[in-house]
Amino acid sequence: MQSQTFSCVDGAQLDTETAYRLVVGCVVPRPVAWITSLDADGRVNAAPFSSYNYVATSPPMLAINIAARPEGRGTKDTANNIRRSREFVVNVATEDTMELMHQSAQEFPPDVSEIEALGIALLPSRHVAVPRIAIAPVQMECRLDQVIVLGRGINTLFIGEVVAFHLSDAIYDGRRVDAAAMRPIARLGGPYYAGLGEIFHRPMLQKPPGGEGTA
Ligand SMILES: Cc1cc2nc3c(=O)[nH]c(=O)nc-3n(C[C@H](O)[C@H](O)[C@H](O)COP(=O)(O)O)c2cc1C
């Protein structure tokens, strides 16, 4: 292999814009949590968040980093709603829902529901008051567990416990989620998304937590 040359950028003193550009370029691909939440008047809010992953399995927990709005324009509706109601639903964004999901990232005024503006159909949840997005093949009802303000205060990590998984028959056989059938969409840096592309198989070398291990 030809040797590589590198640029080295120190992280500690980076301005927020440069740090953001580097982080979202380097941490790829990112899954997209299409989050529904409820405001104080019961309006349903929907917005995508790709600074997101699972962080625990006993019980299952997800974490989402929600940034403040740029130019000191306060906090995002999703963050306000989760802090107030302590509930939200993570709907998995897919290739089929990419267009709607992307549109829902527009900055709608707080009294305008993305759901109504974009005509997104909803389903009731089992344990939380926040509804699920009907066209998403996976919807995870979450209860807020912890809120952690990070670094200089622009970013806040919301950790939620998954209290119910809703899994479409099209992607779940009662044991495994079929990622190929689900066709999740991934966020890359800037205005780019990606599909799954080629899927590789290797035997698992360690037992999964609590699991029996499978090939
Ligand atoms: C694919 C995608 C991923 C996004 N990921 C994040 C994220 O991880 N954190 C964040 O604060 N904003 C993220 N955004 C921007 C928010 O979706 C946007 O600020 C939105 O207006 C917030 O809506 P709200 O005020 O209704 O909560 C993302 C946008 C898109 C399109």
7 by Cβ neighbours in 10 Å (0-12 / 13-18 / 19+) ranks as: exposed
With cut-offs at 50, 70 and 90, classify the pLDDT of residue 212.
low
Q: Whose CA is nearest to atom 4 of ligand 1?
A: 49
pLDDT over 60 (residue 62): yes
Mutate to test the pocket of ligand 1, among 30, 76, 155 (most ligand atoms within 8 A of CB): 76
What pLDDT does 210 receive? Answer: 80
In the reported structure, the alpha carbon of residue 12 is separated from the centroid of ligand 1 by a whole-number distance in angstroms of: 24
Amino acid in the structure at residue 176: R
pLDDT over 90 (residue 213): no
- CATH code for the domain defined by 31-185: 2.30.110.10
Q: Whose CA is nearest to atom 28 of ligand 1?
A: 49
| pLDDT tens per residue across span 95-130 | 999 999 999 999 888 788 889 999 999 999 999 999
The answer to whether 38 and 85 have CB atoms below 8 angstroms apart is: yes
Residues sharing a CB contact under 8 Å with residue 123, sequence separation 6 or more, in sequence order? 131, 132, 133, 134, 139, 166
| pLDDT tens per residue across span 156-189 | 999 999 999 999 999 999 999 999 999 999 999 9
The answer to whether 38 and 130 have CB atoms below 8 angstroms apart is: yes
What pLDDT does 111 receive? Answer: 81
The chain-wide mean pLDDT, for the chain, equals 95
Q: Give Cα 200 distance to the centre of its chain.
A: 24
With cut-offs at 50, 70 and 90, classify the pLDDT of residue 214.
low
| Ligand 1 binding pocket, CB closer than 6 Å | 32, 45, 47-51, 65-67, 76-78, 102, 105, 107, 187
Mutate to test the pocket of ligand 1, among 44, 49, 150 (most ligand atoms within 8 A of CB): 49
Taking the C-alpha atoms of residue 80 and residue 202, their distance in angstroms, rounded to an integer, is 42
Q: Which ligand 1 atom is nearest residue 80's CA?
A: 27
Q: Whose CA is nearest to atom 26 of ligand 1?
A: 77
What pLDDT does 114 receive? Answer: 85
What is the pLDDT averaged over residues 49-66?
Answer: 98
- H or E element that contains 25: helix 16-26
In the reported structure, the alpha carbon of residue 33 is separated from the centroid of ligand 1 by a whole-number distance in angstroms of: 9
In the reported structure, the alpha carbon of residue 206 is separated from the centroid of ligand 1 by a whole-number distance in angstroms of: 35
With cut-offs at 50, 70 and 90, classify the pLDDT of residue 148.
very high
pLDDT over 60 (residue 215): no
In the reported structure, the alpha carbon of residue 47 is separated from the centroid of ligand 1 by a whole-number distance in angstroms of: 6
